[in-house]
Amino acid sequence: MANNPNSSDFIIGILGTGAMGRGIAQIMATGGMRVLLFDTNEGAAEAGREFAERMILRAGEKGTISEEEAQEAVARLTVVAQLTDLAGSDLVIEAVIEDLEIKRKVFAGLEDVVAEDCVLATNTSSLSVAAIAAALKHPGRFAGFHFFNPVPLMKVVEVVNGVKTTPKTADTLVAVARRAGHEPVRAKDTPGFLVNHAGRGLNTEGVRIVSEGITDFAGVDDLLREGGPRFRMGPFELMDTTGLDVSHPVMESIYQQFYEEPRFRPGPLTRQRAAAGLHGRKTGRGFYTYEDNRKVLPPIADVPDTLPEVVWISKAEPAGHEILTAALSDVVEIDDGQKPSTRSLCLFTPVGRDITSAAIAENIEAERSFGVDTMFGLDGRRTLMGTPVSDPDLRDMVHAALAAGDHAVTVIHDSAGFVNQRVVATVVNIACDIAQQRIARPSDIDKAVTLGLGYPSGALAMGDSVGARQILQVLNAMQDFYGDPRYRPSPWLKRRALLGVSLLTNEN
């Protein structure tokens, strides 16, 4: 036994050699550790070894590692025929089916085989670490070690502490992850752990926006991808990629495991579409239609070309007024009066509020009132929003003004928080509450969402870029409008907004 994870003869047992197990075996061998592969299914362990070998040799051919390093890594892969052959392991990682009783039986068998100082880890993505550990004689040496598929490409791994996990156990897994070239993030044992927990806001808020009739699937995705937030994929593109048969059960499971916490509430939209078999790219149709595995893009609508004679821009939000005035001053005449003239179209830049409320607050006719989201600037795709009674011809004129200079514009129905404001505020708020509950350190939260979810920045850093006070203003306005505890701000966010410090500010 070589309990030092940095030792040259540190031995890792992999129990279960499917897609996850073989990927874990590959990175461990490449990281310089000896790997023993075992699977109860005949031929599965050898198939897993062969797959890992091919991937390692391919990396050598591509120059990612040297050919000598590839050969040495392949030599560290060994198939074993029975569970007792894992007796000499310093760490055993289980990667079998997501079934609590099966995993408990696996670890009960392992405890009879390995030494008392051998670390045991589960790659579970959805089961409670504490629930698996409950059947163990030595639960202190047990933890979650959750990798993401495909393991070699997804460079983050969650080290999940159960209630009885010792610091030494977690430290060993952190060291192993780093040696294998992955970034470990530490998390407490909670539903969804860290990555799936932090990722709730994007999908569920996107679904809620469409369910309210504010815009369609493409409207949400386009704004989040091309607008200020610059997500790599919008929620509906993402669910089509992962498959709604996977995404929807996760949404329901986390919601139920958190005792129906409103922040994680899914909507019937995804359940209905999953029941209809509209799972996404894999079935040829989801929220979008796919031909030859490529998304079929809807036709681009014509952009109106009649500009308004003059626009008035509300000063209720000074920053928004400045941004919108700068964007339109070379396009149309700006009415700079305290109140608009009778011939002016009226533009608002509310933070968290809808246009109906903004117009009524300034006693301006809703028929000529429109909103533009300036929270993330106007360099990317722009959002235009009207009231339920806004004149469509006047709306088209504002659209033309916003589109001048070849800017893309998405027109949506009235909504507190537009699209980007409410989605980003929801994402940031959930991350803040993960920090508040001490599930993970702020730096690990941000590392998890960038590496595990592909977000353009960490959720807390995203909140900082907008400003904690702005995020708090959006949430307060939305909670006031909807009366829904879904939007209640986290204490972590409230306090840092009041103090004027970064959301990444940790507490000692």
- Choosing from 161, 196, 314, 344, the catalytic residue is 196
- Choosing from 125, 369, 420, 490, the catalytic residue is 125
- Choosing from 158, 205, 237, 317, the catalytic residue is 158
Is-catalytic flag, 407?
Answer: no
Contact between 335 and 311 under an 8 Å Cβ cutoff? The reply is: yes
3-state secondary structure of 96: coil
Q: What's the token pair of residue 129?
A: 């670490």
Contact between 273 and 296 under an 8 Å Cβ cutoff? The reply is: no
From the list 102, 158, 161, 154, the residue with the least C-alpha distance to 128 is 161
d(CA 475, CA 201): 13
Is-catalytic flag, 329?
Answer: no
Contact between 169 and 177 under an 8 Å Cβ cutoff? The reply is: no
- Choosing from 123, 146, 248, 490, the catalytic residue is 146
From the list 63, 61, 74, 64, the residue with the least C-alpha distance to 30 is 74
What are the residues whose beta carbons fall under 8 Å from the beta carbon of 327, sequence distance 6 or more?
Answer: 378, 402
d(CA 185, CA 174): 8
Contact between 238 and 203 under an 8 Å Cβ cutoff? The reply is: yes
Is-catalytic flag, 362?
Answer: no
d(CA 70, CA 76): 10
Is-catalytic flag, 196?
Answer: yes
311-325: b (≥16 Cβ within 10 Å) or e: bbbbeebeebbebbb
Angle, alpha carbons 72-74-78 (nearest 5°) = 120
d(CA 313, CA 334): 8
Instruction: Give the strands of the sheet with 345-348, arranged side by side.
Output: 333-335, 310-313, 345-348, 369-372, 382-386, 409-412
Q: Which residues are catalytic?
A: 125, 146, 158, 196
